[in-house]
Chain A
């Protein structure tokens, strides 16, 4: 009863049962061209596999000069329906993992056949006429055999004899004197197969069961995600060091179809558990260190930030961000090694900006150009490492409420002021709107002077000055050529007024002699 339950369970998950699905199991290993179990299997760039002997006739590929390797000059038309592409011979190597699996299966079959020479089952091929051309029907006749070893071994042997068409079905009739259908034999056999093949189907990068296997042109197979990570660091096959001439994202690289199907049909539960584990792993460690941090430069809320991603660890980070919620934090280097609150001296400044990826342009070598837009500011409360990059638990930094904002303005603008107050005190007394006007007027003046940092190209990227006092300082800081450390102060502010006071103080200093000479070089 429970045995039948197991079978039902496996089949409900897409798995195949040893006895009930013996025919379908053997088909997983049959060559669709010659119908025999795959011999020296070759996996094609389209992800399908055939025996090396079954590769179609090659032809000379003309007018090809790059890459100019001798074996790229010959190719063939892919025999698989749905592909039909021309595959260069150079891209079709013996599939090492499949080869070893087939080898281990063939050995197990021959061993089992010898061990069970008195368990006859009559097999009869049932041809699927719909798939055979009319003129071949006459010569094609269904085969029948009596073979030993349970359904699986008998069916595999039937295929080895070349008498079981790839598409054909099989009817079974046990010839056991006791009426035993050898179901137990099949189960035990499949279990041995699983064990025998087990060590062949681990990825040589992560040491776990191959997940979404991708086979290289040199015939080596890795989990898709593992190979993508490998290509972040190198362009050579980890196994044989041959150069891999494939776009680093593997976006258009098909999975190894035979291997994927085989693994899924044989152990759907393990594959699903593994996929789930990888999914959880991609989410990052528990405990809130869930924001990836790109330590490179300043970003500002509502403003675009353009990044060139080339370091392997950041390529991985950006890829994970894209697969996840599309966000990551950007932070500035702590160049002066200043202590960062509770964190002590860290490599980065404690405040940063959460960015959302707007668009990604992947370059063929795996680098990328990304456009992002700032969402919000944050403060890092705790930080750690993940695969070479920094991750953090962050707290959002927000402005005070509007009533508090108003209270601040009223309080500061009405405080008594002496006639010889310094510039900072004078700024404190200006209304929030006046602070914004200082900025807008400065921009207009600089535009009249054709300051290069207000070039049309820059305005195209960042837009014109926003009217909104809350975001004006971020826009201003995005384009003004002054010290990053100065701009960083904006990230710590908690009021619109606080930010505008900072930008007004920059303008006052630029206009004063001290900064004027300094910034003139930058602005003219």
Chain B
């Protein structure tokens, strides 16, 4: 099936005006599937890390949100072992006026502002609440270990 004009335009704009610290490149054989990298925000435990994600635009995009998951291991209360992300705009608060660009910015912002009160990874959230400094230290170590640019 032909790619909807909206996806074509979004992809063109992502290529023409990339967001600083974020890249999203569609697969040649499947233009709905993107390889994504997000730089960890400065002043966060993820600073210096480059995180890989995969992003897929379902058939009824933009009526339904893109499906996104972290491929790089990350220690974060709202991201679980499988890389799934707990973010309202990816679920009930999705709106078709949002786009790949804004969603990736939201994910980057989530790295800068972990929310242990709405956890997806319960053990991480627990750790975060009980000993925030130690949890942040672990997040830093994981970033060093798994998210270092090759």
Contact = CB atoms under 8 A, between A and B. Distances in A.
Interface of A: 204-208, 226, 229-230, 232-234, 236, 238-239, 241, 285, 312-313, 384-388
A207 B2 contact: no
B95 A385 contact: no
Given A204-B96, A238-B95, A241-B95, 7 more contacts: A226-B96, A230-B63, A238-B97, A384-B1, A385-B59, A386-B59, A388-B64
B18 interface: no
Contact of B96 (A205, A285, A384, A386): A205
Interface stretch (B5-13, B69-77, B106-114): B5-13
B95 A236 contact: yes
A384 B60 CA distance: 14
A232 B95 contact: no
A205 B59 contact: no
Contact of A207 (B1, B10, B58, B63): B10
B62 interface: yes
A231 to B, nearest CB: 10
A208 B96 contact: no
Nearest to B62: A205
A387 B62 contact: no
B64 A233 contact: yes
Contacts, number: 49
In this complex, the member of A232, A313, A387 whose beta carbon has the largest number of chain B beta carbons within 10 angstroms is A387
A239 B95 contact: yes
A357 to B, nearest CB: 22
Nearest to B93: A241
A385 B61 CA distance: 13
A229 B10 contact: no
A229 B64 CA distance: 11
29 contacts: A204-B96, A205-B6, A205-B96, A206-B4, A206-B5, A206-B6, A207-B5, A207-B10, A226-B96, A229-B63, A230-B63, A230-B96, A232-B63, A233-B63, A233-B64, A234-B95, A238-B95, A238-B96, A238-B97, A239-B97, A285-B1, A312-B60, A312-B63, A384-B1, A385-B1, A386-B1, A387-B60, A388-B59, A388-B63
A229 B95 CA distance: 12
Contacts of B2: 285
Interface string B12-38: 000000000000000000000000000
Interface of B: 1-2, 4-6, 9-10, 58-60, 62-64, 93, 95-97
A205 B1 contact: no
Given A385-B59, A388-B59, A388-B60, A204 B1 contact: no
Contacts of B64: 233, 388
A205 to B, nearest CB: 5
A233 B62 CA distance: 11
Nearest to B5: A208
Contacts of B5: 206-208
B6 to A, nearest CB: 4
A514 B48 CA distance: 72
A232 B60 CA distance: 11
B48 to A, nearest CB: 35
Given A233-B63, A312-B60, A207 B97 contact: no
Nearest to A286: B2
In this complex, the member of B6, B63, B64, B93 whose beta carbon has the largest number of chain A beta carbons within 10 angstroms is B63
A77 to B, nearest CB: 33
B88 to A, nearest CB: 11
B3 to A, nearest CB: 11
Contact of B97 (A204, A233, A385, A387): A204
A95 to B, nearest CB: 16
A230 to B, nearest CB: 6
B60 A207 contact: no
A385 B59 CA distance: 7
Contacts of B96: 204-205, 226, 230, 238
A239 B93 CA distance: 12
In this complex, the member of A205, A207, A208 whose beta carbon has the largest number of chain B beta carbons within 10 angstroms is A207
B9 A207 contact: yes
Contacts of B6: 205-208
- Closest 8 A/B residue pairs (Cβ): A388-B60, A238-B97, A238-B95, A207-B6, A207-B9, A388-B59, A204-B97, A205-B96
B94 to A, nearest CB: 8
A303 to B, nearest CB: 31
B106 to A, nearest CB: 15
A388 B63 CA distance: 10
A234 B60 CA distance: 14
A230 B6 CA distance: 15
B70 to A, nearest CB: 25
A68 to B, nearest CB: 25
A227 to B, nearest CB: 10
A388 B59 CA distance: 5
A285 B60 CA distance: 15
Nearest to A287: B1
Contacts of A386: 1, 59
